[in-house]
Structure 1
Amino acid sequence: MTAHPLDRLTAEEIAHNRDILDRAGLIGPATRFPLVMLVEPPKHEVLSWQEDDPWNRCVRTTLLDRDTGAVSEVVASLTHDKVVSRRDVDVTAEGQPPIMGEEFQLVEKILWQDPGWRAAMARRGLDEPERIRVSALSAGCFDIPGEDGRRLVRCLSFLQLDGSDNVWAHPIDGVVAYVDLITGDVVELIDDGIFPLPAERADFELRAENRPVRDTQKPIEISQPEGPSFTVDGNIVRWENWQFRIGFDQVEGLTLHQIGFEDGGRLRPIVYRASVAEMVVPYGDPSPVRFWQNYFDAGEYSLGKEANSLELGCDCLGEIHYFDAVIADDDGNPRTIRNAICMHEEDVGVLWKHTDMYNGSSSTRRQRRLVISFFITVGNYDYGFYWYLYLDGTIELDCKATGVVFASAYPGPRADGSLYPWASEIAPGVGAPFHQHLFSARLDMMVDGVGNAVDEVDAVRVPVGPENPYGNAFTRRATRIRRESEGARTADGSVGRTWHVVNPERRNRMGQPVGYALIPEGQPTLLADPSSSIAKRAAFTTRHLWVTAQHDAERYPSGQYVNQNPGTTGIDTWIRADRDLDGQDLVLWHTFGLTHFPRPEDWPIMPVDHTGFVMKPVGFFDQNPALDVPAPRSSHCHTTESTAAADACSCH
C-alpha cells in the first residue's frame, strides 16, 4: 500500500483495480474504462490520519459497454481486494462519460463509409475520403428530438494536403455530421451550403523551402551549480517555507494538496486541495453548423489524459525535477505519461528593496518562485497550467493558451457591405469564430484551520463632508458572505474587489483574523445568453466566484458526468441547500479566463496568451515573511560595503 491516503495511483494499483473488476465478472470484450479515479478519503479523515494508521484504499471506475451504451459506476477496494459498490448510470439524466481516444479514430471510419457524407464531400470536389480529417466534437445538449440517451459527437472536417500539412488551415465548411458512437449511425447530416475551401498552407514549423529561421539569438543558460533548493520525498515537496503534496488524475490533471507555510516553527495550512476542476470553451457563431460548439475540456475530454511528455530545454528550462503521471487507458490498463509534471525554481526580479537617506543603508533581496506545471493538448488548442509559490507567501496560477485556433471558412461581405459578425478573418478566406476560454479553479480552503469565512472587500469613495472636508478620503468596506445564497459573486475592477478568506478563530498580533485574499483578473464571464444551453450546463461561468460549504462529492462545478449533461448537476443546484458559510469548512470556485477575438497574429499558431489569479496573505503573517531571505550571492550581483549595511547590492 502507498504511504499516504492522498498518494497518486500507481501502475500496480491500476492493474489491481482492473483485476478486481475482471474477477467480479464486470469486464467483457466491449467494456471500456472512460474514468478510473482514486477515491480520496473524506477531508476530515485525512486531516486526522496519522502515519501507520490503516485506511481503505479505493478506486472509482466508470465502465462503458461499447456494444449497448450501458454505463455503470463501480467502487473497488484495493485494500480488501473486492468490489464494494456498483450502480447503473442514467445517461439521459446524469450525462455521458468523457469521449475516449479510440472514439476519435472510430468517427473517421464511420464517415468515410457513409454515403451521405461522401456525397457531401463530392459536392465540394473532394473524392478522397482518406485525405479528409474529421474532428469529433462533444455534442452538448440542445433538446434535439431523438438525441436523448444516445452517445453522440458532432463532426466537422478538414482537408489534409499531405502528411505534414496543418489540417486546421483547410476547413471544409457548411457541413456537419451527428454521429452515434454506439450504433455507428450518422444520425443527422446538415449541409448548409458550399464555401470556398482555403488552400493556402499554414505551416508553423519553418523549413528551408519556405522561410529561414532567424540566427540572431544567443543562448540563455540557467544553472544552479549547487542544485535546486527544493526536496522531494515521494509526493511531498518542501521548498523554502512551503510544503505540499503532488497529485494527478485524468480529469483535472495536476492537483496540489495540503499547501502550507512554515511560520514560527509551525506548518500553517492554507489550501487543502487546489485544482483546475473544469474549463469550457464556448463559441459564439450561431450558424446551423456551429451553434453547438461548446467544449468542456475536463469533463468531456479528460484533460489529464491529454498531458504532454515535457522536454528539458523546450518546455522547461533550468534545474528540473519531473514527475511521471500514471493513468488508466481506455481498457483499464496503466499508462505512464513520462515527465508529465515539471517543477523548478525561477528568479523573478526584486523581492524587496530600499535605499535609506537617513541611515545610509541600501538593501535588496531577490524574489524567486517555485513553478509546478503541466501542459495538455486537446485537439487544436494547447494549454499550460503553472502554479507558482513565492517567497513572500503569494500563490499564483497562470494558465497559458496556445496552439492553433479552430478555423472556419470566412464568408465574404454581406449584401449591405457589413462583415461577418461572428468571426475574424485571420488569413485569406480563413475565419476563426469568436470564443471564450473559461476556467474554474477549485480551492478547498484551510486558512489556519477548517473554520473559515469569506469577506468581499471593496474600495469605497467618500464624498466631501464633515469627515472629509478636502475630498481626499477613501476607505474600504468588507461584507461577510454568510450563506450559499449570497456566495455567487461578480468581480468589479472599478472598486478593486477582492475576496478575503479569513479564520475568525485565529488572530495575528494586531488582533485581526488571519486571512488570504483572492485577487481576480475580472475579465468577462460567459457572454452567451442566460437562457442558452451552455449557460445552464456551465452555470459556474456566469459568476467570477462561488462559495460553497465543503463536500467531498462536489468535485466538478458542472457535475461528474458533463458530456451531454443537460445542466442538472452543477454548482447552481448545490447552492439551493443554502448552507452556512460563516466560520465553516469552505470551497472557493473561481471563474477566470480569456475572451478571444482572434487576430491575424494568432495564425498559423497562436502566441501564448495568459490568464489566471493571485492569492496573497492579508494579515496571515505578523510581518513580511521574507525578511530572512539572504542577500544575493550570484556572480552577477556585486556586493559593496556601505556605512550602515554590508548587504547593499546592485543587481542586474
Structure 2
Amino acid sequence: MRAVLVAAGRVGETTRFPSVLLVEPPKAEVRGYREGAVFSRRAQAVVLDVATGVASEAVVDLVVGELLSWRDLAAGEGQPAVLFEEYDRSADLVRADERWQAALRRRGIEDFSLAFVAPLSPGFFDYPEEKGRRVLRALTFLRDFEEDSPWAHPVEGLLAKVDLITGEVISVDDSGNVPVPAEHGNFDAAHVGPARTTLKPIEITQPEGVSYTVDGNEVTWEGWRFRVGFNAREGLTLHRIEFDGDSVAHRVSMAEMVVPYGDPAPWRYWISYFDAGEYLLGKNANSLKLGCDCLGVIHYFDAVVADDHANAVTIPQAVCMHEEDYGILWKHTNILTGATEVRRSRRLVVSFFATIGNYDYGFFWYFYLDGTIQLEAKATGIVFCGSAEPGTTSPYAAEIAPGLMAPVHQHLFCARLDMEVAGERNTVDEVDVVGIPTGPDNPYGNAFTTTTTTLASESGAQRVADATKARTWVIRNDDNTNRLGKPRAYQLMPHTGPTLLAQPDSTVAARAAFATKHLWVTQHDEAENYPAGDYPNQHPGQSGLPTWTKADRDLENQDLVLWHVFGPTHVPRPEDWPVMPVDFSGFTLRPHGFRDRNPALDLPDGAKSCSHCPPGQCHCGH
C-alpha cells in the first residue's frame, strides 16, 4: 500500500496514515470462490497531511500495485481517526503553554514533569473556533512518581483545547478550585500487599490435544467452520460461519462503540468516545499472555496493522482461541427407572482485548455444541474520574474514594451481523410473548402466546428490546425449510439494557444515532460498514444508519445485515476502584428450527469414561 502511494507521488514528509484497512472482496466473489482461484485484494488508506490538515481516501489494488482512486474528504465529513503520534504531540503542546503552567502553579504544583495530559476526542458542538480544525481536548492528571496511576489524581476544572495542525493551544480553561485527591490508585502487588494463599491451583489440561483444527485462518470444530480475520478498526472479525455444513453468517464483527458521559460539567459534557471509529480498536489490541489473558491449551493468531506511516506492525498473539468446559448441556433422570443421561457442554472461545486510555475491552465470541453463538463484551480497567471536596454528593457522579468522583456513563456496543441463515435470502421477524385478555379465548385468564411482526422495510426495522415481552428477533429463510415445513432460522436474543440516555436534541444523539435503538436491519450494501459512518471524529451527526435507512429498502427475502446495540450503563461504585472488575454484556444467537432436533444428542456420555467414580455412577462433574 505505502509503496504504491509513494510511487504515485502521494506521500511526503508530512503524510500520515490514520488508518489502513483491507477492502474485503464483494460477497458474490467470496461465495463463488473455488480453491486456487485468483481473487481481488484491495486496501483503503485514509491519508492525512499533518502540515495542511487535508485528509484523503485512497484505494489501492494490491495485486497489480495500482492506485485505483483518490479523493479528498469534504468539509463537514468528519476527521480521520486519531494518530498515535498526536497523543504525545498535543500533550507536549499543552505542557508548554504558559496558561496551563499557571493553572498548575495556582494549585501549588511547580514540577510539571509528572503531570499527565490526556488528549481526548472532542465531540462536535459547532463552535466557531473549531470550524475546519482538527482538534483534541485535553484533561490533566497528576502522578506522585513515574509509575503512579494518574487516574487517581484528576485536576478538576482544567481543560485545554489543541489544534493538531497549526500546533496552537486554542484555549485553556481554568475554573476549578477543588483539591487534587491525594490517595493513590495503584493496584500492583507492591501497593496491594501480599497475595492471598487460600486459592488452590486449577489446572486445565487436554492430554489428547484439542478438538479443533486450524488451516491458515480457517477453523473447524465440532460442526463449526469459520475464518478468523482482523483489522485495525474493528479488531477481530469472523467470516463464512457454518454449522453442520450450512451457512449461518457471512461476517460478524464489533463495528462501533460509543462511551457517552452523563455529567454536564464544562470539563466533561463533551465526552463521548467512539472507540472504533475515533481510536481504532484493532490498532490498540493487546498481545495476550498464556496463564493471564488465556487459560488452557491455546492457539494464538497474530494480527498485522499499519502504524501512522503505513508500515506493517505485527501484534503477536492478538487473538486467543481455546476450548473450555461450560457445565451441563442437557440432562434427564427417568423418574420411572432412575436412569440418568447427562452431557456436558463445551464451547470454543475466540477473543481479543483492546486498551483505549483508561478502559480495557475484551470481546469474546463463543461457539457451542448445540449450534449457539454468543458474544460477550467485557469492560474493565480504570473508571474515569473527576474530583470534588470529600463527602460531596452529585446526581451525575458517585464518590468512589475520598474526593474522587466517577461520572455516570454508558458503554454502547454495536455488533454488525451480516447474516446468511441457510442461504442468502433472509427475513427478520420480531417475536413477543404476550398475555391474552380474559374472555372467550382465555376463559380462565391463564393463556399467553407469541405474536410475530415481520420487519418488512428499513423504516420499520428500528426496534427497541422489551424484556417484559421476552422480545427476540428471528432471522428465517423461507427458501429452506426443516422437516416440519417451517423456515430454518436463527434467533437473536438480546440481553436487555438502556439505549442512549442522552436527550434527542443533544449532539451525541446525532453522532451516535445508532445507539438510540437496540436493533436496526438493513439490506446489504458493500459500502455500509460502520453504524456511525466512516468518520465519526468531529462529525456533526446523522451519518451511517440514520442516513442509509432513509432509503427504506425492502427487507423480505433479502441479503440482510443486523446491527445490534447492547452494553452496560455504568453507575460507578466503590468496588470499581482502583481497578474495575469485569462488567459483562452481550447477546446470543441460537438455532430456531435450523436443525430438526437437538444437534448435541450424539455427545459422549462423560460418566462412562470418568476415572473418578464407579462405572456409570459419575457424581463429580467429570
Could you state the TM-score of these two structures normalised by the residue count of structure 1?
0.93
Which residue number corresponds to residue 399 of structure 2? 425
CA distance in 2, matches of 1:29, 1:631: 65
Deviation at 1:111, TM superposition (A): 1.1
Deviation at 1:215, TM superposition (A): 1.3
Q: Does 1:615 align with 2:589?
A: yes
My pick for the range that moved more, 624-633 or 379-388, is: 624-633
Q: Does 1:152 align with 2:135?
A: yes
Deviation at 1:361, TM superposition (A): 2.6
Three-state SS of the structure 2 residue aligned to 1:129 is coil
Pick one of 5, 11, 28 that aligns with 1:44: 28
CA distance in 2, matches of 1:636, 1:184: 70
Which residue number corresponds to residue 293 of structure 2? 315
Q: In the alignment, residue 389 of structure 1 is paired with which amino acid?
A: F
Q: Does 1:80 align with 2:64?
A: yes
CA distance in 1, matches of 2:81, 2:524: 25
Q: In the alignment, residue 235 of structure 2 is paired with which amino acid?
A: G
Pick one of 561, 564, 571 that aligns with 1:587: 561
Deviation at 1:55, TM superposition (A): 2.1
Alpha-carbon displacement from aligned partner over 1:580-616 (angstroms, at most 9, x marks no partner): 0011000000000000010000000001110000111
Alpha-carbon displacement from aligned partner over 1:352-393 (angstroms, at most 9, x marks no partner): 111112354311111000000001100000011000000000
Alpha-carbon displacement from aligned partner over 1:497-555 (angstroms, at most 9, x marks no partner): 00000011111111111111100011000110011001000001100000110111110
Deviation at 1:129, TM superposition (A): 1.9
Which residue number corresponds to residue 406 of structure 1? 384
Could you state the TM-score of these two structures normalised by the residue count of structure 2?
0.98
* Kept after mapping to 1: 8 A contact 2:364/2:375: yes
Q: In the alignment, residue 41 of structure 1 is paired with which amino acid?
A: P
Q: Does 1:475 align with 2:454?
A: no
Which residue number corresponds to residue 541 of structure 2? 567
Which residue number corresponds to residue 631 of structure 1? 605
Change (3 A) 1:637 1:567: farther
Deviation at 1:628, TM superposition (A): 1.1
- Unaligned stretches of 5+ residues in structure 2: none
Pick one of 108, 114, 128 that aligns with 2:97: 114
Residues 4-403 of structure 1 mapped to structure 2, 5 A cutoff: 17-90=1-74, 92-207=75-190, 211-262=193-244, 267-403=245-381
CA distance in 1, matches of 2:299, 2:580: 28
Deviation at 1:640, TM superposition (A): 3.1
Pick one of 537, 550, 555 that aligns with 1:576: 550
Which residue number corresponds to residue 12 of structure 1? none
Which residue number corresponds to residue 3 of structure 1? none
* Kept after mapping to 2: 8 A contact 1:537/1:570: no
Deviation at 1:216, TM superposition (A): 1.2
CA distance in 2, matches of 1:189, 1:636: 70
Three-state SS of the structure 2 residue aligned to 1:274 is strand
CA distance in 2, matches of 1:57, 1:152: 34
* Kept after mapping to 2: 8 A contact 1:363/1:649: no
* Kept after mapping to 1: 8 A contact 2:18/2:80: yes
* Kept after mapping to 1: 8 A contact 2:29/2:39: no
Deviation at 1:48, TM superposition (A): 1.4
Alpha-carbon displacement from aligned partner over 1:255-301 (angstroms, at most 9, x marks no partner): 00011101xxxx10001100010011000110111110110000000
Deviation at 1:637, TM superposition (A): 5.5
- Unaligned stretches of 5+ residues in structure 1: 1-16, 642-647
CA distance in 1, matches of 2:242, 2:505: 42
* Kept after mapping to 2: 8 A contact 1:364/1:649: no
CA distance in 1, matches of 2:519, 2:613: 46
Q: Deviating runs (4+, > 4 A) in structure 1?
A: 411-414, 633-637
* Kept after mapping to 2: 8 A contact 1:192/1:289: no
Change (3 A) 1:176 1:512: same
CA distance in 1, matches of 2:171, 2:614: 73
Aligned residues: 620
Alpha-carbon displacement from aligned partner over 1:323-361 (angstroms, at most 9, x marks no partner): 000111111101000100000000000111111123543
Which residue number corresponds to residue 436 of structure 2? 462
Q: In the alignment, residue 298 of structure 2 is paired with which amino acid?
A: I
Deviation at 1:231, TM superposition (A): 0.3
Deviation at 1:636, TM superposition (A): 5.8
Three-state SS of the structure 1 residue aligned to 2:28 is helix
* Kept after mapping to 2: 8 A contact 1:446/1:452: yes
* Kept after mapping to 1: 8 A contact 2:427/2:557: yes
Q: In the alignment, residue 24 of structure 1 is paired with which amino acid?
A: A
Alpha-carbon displacement from aligned partner over 1:183-241 (angstroms, at most 9, x marks no partner): 1111122122221110111111132x663221111111100001110000001000010
Three-state SS of the structure 1 residue aligned to 2:76 is helix
Q: In the alignment, residue 222 of structure 2 is paired with which amino acid?
A: E
Which residue number corresponds to residue 415 of structure 2? 441
CA distance in 1, matches of 2:609, 2:399: 49
Alpha-carbon displacement from aligned partner over 1:434-482 (angstroms, at most 9, x marks no partner): 1000000000000001100000000010122223222221110011000
Over aligned residue pairs, what C-alpha RMSD do you find? Answer: 1.3
Which residue number corresponds to residue 14 of structure 1? none
CA distance in 2, matches of 1:618, 1:639: 38
* Kept after mapping to 2: 8 A contact 1:224/1:319: yes
Q: In the alignment, residue 19 of structure 1 is paired with which amino acid?
A: A
Alpha-carbon displacement from aligned partner over 1:40-73 (angstroms, at most 9, x marks no partner): 0111221112222222211111111111111111
My pick for the range that moved more, 353-362 or 439-448, is: 353-362
Change (3 A) 1:242 1:637: farther
